[in-house]
Structure 1
């Protein structure tokens, strides 16, 4: 899972990043609002935002994120107690709010709950599983190493299992916001289907795909 962290307290940012890295998550951390703002489209499936940061505040970044991602979880981490600001954050699509100071365990629980990941191993059935931490796919006692894009696509599918994943969502996450043709997406889907053997990936006509497990 790829997470964007915006936090201008260096010590707190490092603590959060190290803790989440131990869970196998990839964390891009920013202390400057403008730099975080410019990176929104780089394929994240979770956002952790402080409000009072240099150049562009977290609320404006929250609004911009919702232009790219309608469903990706956004957690506000802030020391503010101003109800108007907290209400504004929820009005613009914040999923949860964590007031500083907080325990890192509490943040970790919220991330796992919102992203529907309760552990690093996702079982497809008795003989298939995918380990987020090692990015290892195991199929009937055979370990399969995936390419970067295959791994990112499978990450996206198992994070949003049994939900429709649009072409745009795949472009944003797997290609990190860079332009990609529909044929390239379909080619990657074909490769992953061949690896998985079983028919987990279903096409949603003119929309995208759904990973049914």
Structure 2
């Protein structure tokens, strides 16, 4: 499978190393040295994965990611950054990033993450799972090892977002934007749909839970081991 990548990185030496290594792995890679050029290339081309540094000249990486998401660009984004605090990671996920890799990193790990993200975009991944819960992305159905969950179109979208980022906090704003886009209902709507999803977990004896972490957002995590 041919993979096309955009690297937005202002460290020219690091960028050259990454581009050369990816070429060896048969991954084509365009490069932008600042956020404005990076955003322009994102708008003009179709990439499988975007590699995005946070500290960029002209337009920082978080803003690049957020503007791309606001323009309905769903290309998976892997943040490359020296910042490794929880607050930094939360800021990245809230901006719409899909994965996070802290510098310095091994090139082999970078390649593995690129391949995984490209499969998500190309829909080669047809099922997501956590504990005894499986979500079928093709039939838009979910079941535990006991029975099938009753999902509405909204709760399917909600569960999909949670299962793509298990054990990671997703902010209320990110969930609402991912489900309703720019035409968002009142804030109680999200609460109602999460309540419905939790009830389905109980009905089907799902070994997972959706927990609200104040200041961070909602997290889907396994409970069987607890």
- Bin the TM-score by the shorter chain: 0.5 to 0.7
Q: Secondary structure at the match of 2:119?
A: coil
**1:152-191 paired onto structure 2 within 5 Å:** 159-161=122-124
Q: Deviations over 1:85-143 (max 9, x none)?
A: 321111122111111111111111111112229xxxxxxxxxxxxxxxxxxxxxxxxxx
Runs of 4+ in 1 over 6 A off after TM superposition: none
Q: Normalising to structure 2: TM-score of the pair?
A: 0.50
Residue 103 of structure 1 is matched in structure 2 by 106
Distance 2:18 2:95 in 1: 24
Pairwise CA RMSD of aligned residues? Answer: 2.2
Structure 1 unaligned regions, length at least 5:
118-155, 165-213
Q: Quick check: 2:5–2:49 contact (8 Å CA) kept in 1?
A: yes
Which of 29, 47, 50 is equivalent to 1:47? 50
In structure 2, relative to structure 1, the CA distance for the partners of 1:107 and 1:77 (3 Å cut) is same
Which of 37, 48, 62 is equivalent to 2:39? 37
Distance 1:69 1:20 in 2: 27
Q: Normalising to structure 1: TM-score of the pair?
A: 0.53
Residue 18 of structure 1 is matched in structure 2 by 20
**1:54-65 paired onto structure 2 within 5 Å:** 54-65=57-68
Q: Secondary structure at the match of 1:29?
A: strand
Which gives a bigger RCO, structure 1 or 2 (Cα 8 Å, sep 6+)?
1
Which of 93, 96, 102 is equivalent to 1:93? 96
Distance 1:115 1:53 in 2: 24
Q: Does 1:116 align with 2:79?
A: no
Q: Secondary structure at the match of 2:42?
A: coil
Q: Does 1:80 align with 2:86?
A: no
Q: Secondary structure at the match of 2:79?
A: strand
Structure 2 unaligned regions, length at least 5:
127-136, 139-226
Aligned length: 124
